[in-house]
Structure 1
Amino acid sequence: MLLLPDFVNYDVSLVQQSFTSAKHNRGEPAYQLSYCGKEESVQSDAVVIQRLAPLSQLLEADTIVIPGINHAMTFHDAEVMDYLQRAAARGIRIASICSGAWVLAASGLLNGKRATTHWLMAAELAQRYPQIHVEPNVLFIDNGQLLTSAGLSAGLDLCLHLVELDLGTRAALALADYLVMPQARIGSQVQQLQQLPASAERMAELQLWLTEQLHSAITLEMMAERVCLSVRSLTRHVQQQFGLSPLSWLQQLRIRRAQALLESSNMSIEQIANSCGYSSAAGLRHTFQRHVGCSPSAWRHTHQPHEKKLLN
């Protein structure tokens, strides 16, 4: 974690809590978290964090997370930017929380890429850095090596997303349970849900129902009827909150269920397909490959814990 002066306390705490609490499927801690900074200590209001590792340790990391900073629009530190550029050149993954995107922007690393930040700062970010494709109303954006998120709880969604990428769906769900929060929201969900309170409540009700019915054949009409909406209204509500069509949203829920079962059960691919609402294993394989980028068998091999073999 890169700690800069005037850091946002909440962002630092959510990063710390997420990555020190994440566990492998066998229960061992999954991450070693280091705190890096330009000086040996860093302060924000009355909070002081001491014994920071030097910036050079960033170059030894697998992932760098940049919490938000207050007064981010005036950030300019040549040494910090140099280390981030060197880290990116080495292929190190870099993620920012909220206003931390301004640090990446100042470093030039987001040029030509999609990015987001807190919606209150998005227009200024787009104006100040026209080379960046700023998307103001999503929770987080994953460009592969570079990831950015909106503010506050969206930063937690990004941390859970990183854990899921590294350790699999089962570990991410276990971490969400530990943090007493719902399963991570998808990155395309809109930031300003407070503008749509009735819609948010209906979509939460629909998602709960869908997770209980994923084994069944579910139509668009059934989804609309469940929340007493027309198909047209349902489509608008889902698009507003998730940036997806209702059936694409349903497909994501099915894939996430399949990922969890592949990691945590010995069910066959055919059984998992039936449990997730696919008519055949071939249907699951095709959809899984398109959405995840690998076959269900490859996902299971990578993410399911393997018993150690004893050599006689």
Structure 2
Amino acid sequence: MHDFTILVVPGAFAASVASTLDILASAATVSERLGLAAPRWRVCGPQPGPVALGHGLQLHVQPIEQSAEDPSCWVIPGIGVSDINLLESRLAEPWTVPFLSALSDHIANGKEIAASCSAVFLLHAAGLLDGRRVTTSWWLAPHLQMLAPGCRVDPDFMVLADHPLTTAGAAFAQTDLMLHLLRRRLSPEIAHAVGKALLLDRRQLQSPFVIPAVLVQGNALISRLIAEIEKSLPELTSVKTLATSVGMSERTLSRHVHKATGHSTRQLIQRVQLHKARALLESGEHSVEAVSALVGYQDPTALRRLMRRLLNATPRQLRQR
């Protein structure tokens, strides 16, 4: 019996697939040294034989064998897309029909599935996200929330577990996902040893990597709001002022902002402040007090709290990067 079934789909992000297999191989090595049971896994795909990954790489996979007796957690690395149009095209390919059915059946049999980055959209296509709290690549999160209003998409987190699903953020969050699965399904000792051996930090948040202007995906309204927020600094604009500037009520504006970004208008303002503050701190040209004033905070303590909550870092740590 297997602990994990790695599902590799055509065009999968090669680094995510490779890191998954390398982490499992490392786990097998360290578990032997620790005197613990080693992970058992198999690599499967929609069709048996060689499957093409990104950049011309190939990997031989077994067919997916469904069984109510299969206890393994199915793990789907990112499907290797760079924009929403390509994502939608990939989800319409012929292999997806039986693949999505297999995902649904595995959950119906009381088993678990884990996915990262764009692969979380496969869970949506299989009808598995309603009522769930999930994450995905931060720049894809608004699109997933639009497609799946019945779930809560939280792009701030690197990994979110909502049994029987576990989801992870952007492509290299696959490493965080695998450490989480090793920790939970095997032992914390194995996960810790693998992290040490491969120099993998335990990261909890995606929010430090979010770029507000990229998050909006060309949304004219949100782009305008971000520009107005940036222009207002250090005299920080208000939600009411932003709503008036675009001819909307605060409530209507909030609906539009949440639909496009997954955040409230106030949270959008904070992320613009935080993005500028981070850039100023990393330049090393300003004190924390000066940066706080430049982004609209009279009290540096408020900026420190925001950074701790959204970046899991202090101003001093950012200045050292």
What is the deviation of 1:34?
Answer: 0.7
Q: 1:19 to 1:234 in 2, by over 3 A?
A: same
Q: Which letter does structure 1 place at the counterpart of 2:163?
A: G
Q: Which letter does structure 1 place at the counterpart of 2:72?
A: D
Computed over aligned residues only, the root mean square deviation of the Cα atoms, in angstroms, reads 2.7
Sequence identity, in percent?
Answer: 25
What is the deviation of 1:107?
Answer: 0.4
Aligned to 1:148: 167
Q: Take 1:190 and 1:137, find their aligned partners in 2: how far apart are those partners? A: 5
Q: What is the CA deviation profile of residues 93-132 of structure 1, one whole-angstrom value per residue up to 9, with x for unaligned ones? A: 1100211101111001111111111112111111122222
- 1:157 alignment partner, one of 176, 183, 188: 176
The 8 Å contact of residues 45 and 64 in structure 2, kept in 1 or not, is answered as yes
- 2:72 alignment partner, one of 45, 62, 77: 62
The 8 Å contact of residues 160 and 167 in structure 2, kept in 1 or not, is answered as yes
What is the deviation of 1:11?
Answer: 1.0
What is the deviation of 1:230?
Answer: 5.1
Aligned to 1:32: 40
* Residue 9 (str. 1) matches residue 40 (str. 2): no
Q: 1:200 to 1:101 in 2, by over 3 A?
A: farther
Q: Which letter does structure 1 place at the counterpart of 2:9?
A: L
Aligned to 1:303: none
Q: Where in structure 2 are the equivalents of 1:89-238 lying within 5 Å?
A: 89-182=108-201, 184-186=202-204, 188=205, 190-192=207-209, 195=275, 196=278, 231-238=301-308
The 8 Å contact of residues 113 and 133 in structure 1, kept in 2 or not, is answered as yes
Q: Take 2:281 and 2:39, find their aligned partners in 1: how far apart are those partners? A: 37
> Can you give the 5+ residue segments of structure 2 that lack an aligned partner in the other structure?
1-5, 212-274, 284-298, 314-321
Aligned to 1:269: none
Q: Which letter does structure 1 place at the counterpart of 2:136?
A: T
Q: 1:57 to 1:242 in 2, by over 3 A?
A: farther
Q: Which letter does structure 2 place at the counterpart of 1:131?
A: G
Any idea what SS the aligned residue of 1:35 has?
Answer: strand
Aligned to 2:52: 43
Q: Take 1:131 and 1:197, find their aligned partners in 2: how far apart are those partners? A: 36
Any idea what SS the aligned residue of 2:41 has?
Answer: coil
The 8 Å contact of residues 6 and 43 in structure 1, kept in 2 or not, is answered as yes
What is the deviation of 1:200?
Answer: 8.8
Q: Take 1:180 and 1:190, find their aligned partners in 2: how far apart are those partners? A: 21
What is the deviation of 1:231?
Answer: 4.1
Q: Take 1:81 and 1:149, find their aligned partners in 2: how far apart are those partners? A: 19
> Can you give the 5+ residue segments of structure 1 that lack an aligned partner in the other structure?
202-228, 244-312
The 8 Å contact of residues 120 and 136 in structure 2, kept in 1 or not, is answered as yes
Q: Which letter does structure 2 place at the counterpart of 1:5?
A: P
The 8 Å contact of residues 8 and 77 in structure 2, kept in 1 or not, is answered as yes
The 8 Å contact of residues 23 and 178 in structure 2, kept in 1 or not, is answered as yes
Q: 1:32 to 1:235 in 2, by over 3 A?
A: same
Q: 1:242 to 1:113 in 2, by over 3 A?
A: farther
Any idea what SS the aligned residue of 1:36 has?
Answer: strand
Q: Take 2:147 and 2:12, find their aligned partners in 1: how far apart are those partners? A: 21
What is the deviation of 1:67?
Answer: 0.9
Q: 1:28 to 1:170 in 2, by over 3 A?
A: closer
Q: What is the CA deviation profile of residues 19-65 of structure 1, one whole-angstrom value per residue up to 9, with x for unaligned ones? A: 22114372456211211112122112411212x22112576242110
Q: 1:148 to 1:199 in 2, by over 3 A?
A: farther
Would you tell me which structure has more strand in proportion to its own residues? Answer: 2
Any idea what SS the aligned residue of 2:52 has?
Answer: strand
What is the deviation of 1:191?
Answer: 4.9
What is the deviation of 1:144?
Answer: 2.4
Aligned to 1:53: 62
Q: Take 2:26 and 2:152, find their aligned partners in 1: how far apart are those partners? A: 33
Q: Take 1:144 and 1:172, find their aligned partners in 2: how far apart are those partners? A: 20
The 8 Å contact of residues 113 and 166 in structure 2, kept in 1 or not, is answered as yes
Q: 1:101 to 1:233 in 2, by over 3 A?
A: same
Q: 1:48 to 1:198 in 2, by over 3 A?
A: same
The 8 Å contact of residues 4 and 37 in structure 1, kept in 2 or not, is answered as yes
* Residue 86 (str. 1) matches residue 105 (str. 2): yes
Aligned residues: 214
